[in-house]
Amino acid sequence: MTVIATLGPKGSDGYQAAAQYNRHAELALFNSIADVMDGFRSGQADLAMIPVYNTREGEVREYFRILESLDQGYWLDNVVLPINLSLGALSTDQRLDRVRVIIGRSTVFRQCEEYIAANMPQATLVSVRDLEQALAELLQDRPDDHVVIDTEQIINRFGLNLLDRELAPYNRTRFAVIGSQPGRQTGYDATSIITRPLADRVGLLVDILNEFTKRGINILDLRSENDIKTQKLQIYLEVEGHRLNPLLKEALDQVEHQVIQVAQSLKILGSFPRVDMRIKRIRSFGFIGSGAMTVWFADKLQGEGYATVICGRSSTLRPEEMIAQVDVVVICVPISVTTNLVQRYGPLLRDGQALILLAGESETPLRSALEATAEGVEVMLVHNLWGPQALTMKDKNVVVVRTRKSGSLCSEFESFMYKYGAEIHLDTPEKHDLMMGVSQKLPTAISVALAMTLAEHGIDYGDIDSHSTLTSLYGVLALARVHSQHPRTYAEIMATSGEGKKIVAGFLDHLQRISALAEQRQIDQLAEIITENIRAIPSHFLKSKMRQAQAVDAVLSDIGFKGD
Ligand SMILES: NC(=O)C1=CN([C@@H]2O[C@H](COP(=O)(O)OP(=O)(O)OC[C@H]3O[C@@H](n4cnc5c(N)ncnc54)[C@H](O)[C@@H]3O)[C@@H](O)[C@H]2O)C=CC1
Ligand SMILES: O=C(O)C(=O)Cc1ccc(O)cc1
């Protein structure tokens, strides 16, 4: 039978946490965290349960030092226990203003500070290590001005009268479960790490955090302490992901060898299923479409603890069945079939579900989604401006088009993207499509037309680099990007409808006019057009983009980036 070492006595919060973790386990009860750990180390118990954080007290200070010396154990799980503290007395008519002594454990006193100050400010607090023994003595001596604070179970177990309940509301304690085997990977994990005492170094903390941030790894907790003897800084971190996750391994490796630059300066305390204090309304996402972007988002959502189901054209699970099972339906198919599928599947959603469109076009698909779904169905469009090859969404743009039917489920999806660092921009459907005319339809059309022109005139691509100016390189880079990815993605982009169409149409008119003026050698007029353009472009925009262009020039002229 499993034996768990935990804080006693029977009925206390430590006892309840261990019983909640494994109700069949035998519990070995101790009076201090250090004794609990000694019990585990000496082999008296298979697991140890120690309090690490309380919503009212903050961190439990001893645990930092205890964990630092954790040499033969792993932090492998957690228990979050609501703590309900009650007041017990020997008589039922005990008046609170006559109480002289309150008996309890020190942590309980800290949690009930406000209650004691408000109701028994005159009382002396007697903090005991061994509550069991203190209560036995109380029952023997029976002083009429003593009361006890602890859980209701303890008050009842010692036959005391319950005077008041819930002395400290919103009181929850997180306990760490320590075992001798590392925790298994569940896909929704966190890892806790502590550093050895660190030598002073400018920017150390920022540089450590940056290794996680640039890999899109969320930091859940950060604390620091000064080592008692050396007064050097020690940092405790809890980050999302399992210690076997390649990105996390890479980040930890960089922190140890590139940032701190001291071997063995990090100690991984363990990986465990993530403790979720936030309230989530969405449990599951169902995707219609099983392409690259679906796989990308489903993977990230799973990492956030959501269940995901994917329906492709050839999967056995049909969208009709899937829709009935999930909270949020995501349609992520080529732009040209999005509206069709919205019309087909939108009516199957019921009130309380959400339909999220992941697509590069907004006006027509959203209008159909609003028409096709019942009044109580949430509707929103998300257009991520990165491709499926992106490692993370950190600092990448995403356009979110909310509708009058976007509610809390849609907000939860937005929060998920916010959490992982996406730059969220809210647009109307028309604004989205207009701006995609500028950033997608037109540049793609130009790149495609340029490649066709080069082919038509038999231009040798080997001559491009040797004859390019700094300015002409940009167009060639766009050409390369468009022709290095899935042709269908860019064909779909060129064929989108909505406000963006007028950008391509306007461009063609102006190109023709410029081309005619050039043909007629109207140099003054052409220069006048450019001057007018300069007046229309905000000067701060021009300046800032020119600075960026020069930074790109510097990279491109670097020997490693010169074309070969
Ligand atoms: N690939 C990219 O770089 C980006 C794509 N997007 C958007 O994501 C959406 C999906 O794009 P990808 O995943 O890249 O496409 P994809 O071509 O990789 O996958 C599309 C999926 O839709 C399915 N599909 C095609 N026609 C269908 C039909 N008639 N009925 C049912 N399913 C059908 C295909 O079987 C495939 O599973 C598009 O709306 C696109 O605008 C957004 C940003 C970037
Ligand atoms: O990676 C790139 O350059 C892209 O342009 C990716 C991309 C493709 C399609 C979209 O709708 C949004 C972004």
| Tens of pLDDT, residues 286-331 | 999 999 999 999 999 999 999 999 999 999 999 999 999 999 999 9
To the nearest whole percent, how much of the chain has pLDDT over 70? 98
Give the mean model confidence (pLDDT) for residues 535-544: 98
Superfamily, domain 3-80+174-178: Periplasmic binding protein-like II (3.40.190.10)
293 lines ligand 1 (CB under 6 A): yes
For residues 170-186, one letter each, b for 16 or more C-beta atoms within 10 angstroms of the residue's C-beta and e for the rest, the string is ebebbbbbbbeebbeee
Give the mean model confidence (pLDDT) for residues 438-447: 98
Ligand 2: lining residues by beta carbon, under 6 Å: 360, 385-387, 481, 489
397 lines ligand 1 (CB under 6 A): no
- Mean pLDDT of the residues in the chain: 94
Give the mean model confidence (pLDDT) for residues 60-82: 85
ipTM value for the complex: 0.97
Superfamily, domain 284-427: NAD(P)-binding Rossmann-like Domain (3.40.50.720)
pLDDT per residue as tens digits for the range 4-52: 999 999 999 999 999 999 999 999 999 999 999 999 999 999 999 999 9
Select from 147, 155, 151 the least CA-distant residue to 93: 147
Confidence of residue 280 (pLDDT cuts 50, 70, 90): confident
The CA 185 to ligand 1 mean position distance, Å, reads: 31
Q: What is the pLDDT of residue 544?
A: 98
For the CA atoms of 130, 132, 134, 138, the dihedral, rounded to the nearest 10 degrees, stands at: 170
Strands of the sheet containing 146-151, edge to edge, are 124-127, 101-104, 146-151, 85-89, 161-164
Confidence of residue 562 (pLDDT cuts 50, 70, 90): low
Is 408 a residue whose pLDDT tops 90?
no
The CA 386 to ligand 2 mean position distance, Å, reads: 5
Select from 215, 174, 413, 429 the least CA-distant residue to 306: 413
Q: What is the pLDDT of residue 107?
A: 94
CATH number assigned to the domain covering 85-165: 3.40.190.10
Show the tokens assigned to 293.
């972007």
Is 64 a residue whose pLDDT tops 80?
no
Confidence of residue 332 (pLDDT cuts 50, 70, 90): very high
- Indicate which ligand has the atom closest to the C-alpha of 432: 2
Per-residue HEC secondary structure of 388-429 comes to: CCCCCCCCCEEEEEECCCCCHHHHHHHHHHHHCCCEEEECCH
Q: What is the pLDDT of residue 55?
A: 87
Q: What is the pLDDT of residue 277?
A: 62
Q: What is the pLDDT of residue 563?
A: 63
Show the tokens assigned to 248.
């996390």
Confidence of residue 278 (pLDDT cuts 50, 70, 90): low
83 lines ligand 1 (CB under 6 A): no
Give the mean model confidence (pLDDT) for residues 91-107: 96
Show the tokens assigned to 121.
């400010």
Q: Is the peptide bond before 51 cis (omega within 30 degrees of 0)?
A: no
pLDDT per residue as tens digits for the range 198-240: 999 999 999 999 999 999 999 999 988 888 888 899 999 999 9
Is 560 a residue whose pLDDT tops 80?
no
- Indicate which ligand has the atom closest to the C-alpha of 390: 2
Ligand 1 pocket test, pick from 309, 317, 489 with the greatest ligand atom count within 8 Å of Cβ, gives 489
For residues 303-329, one letter each, b for 16 or more C-beta atoms within 10 angstroms of the residue's C-beta and e for the rest, the string is bbbbebbbbeeeeeeebeebbeebbbb
Q: What is the pLDDT of residue 556?
A: 83
CATH number assigned to the domain covering 183-273: 3.30.70.260
Q: What is the pLDDT of residue 224?
A: 87
Confidence of residue 69 (pLDDT cuts 50, 70, 90): confident
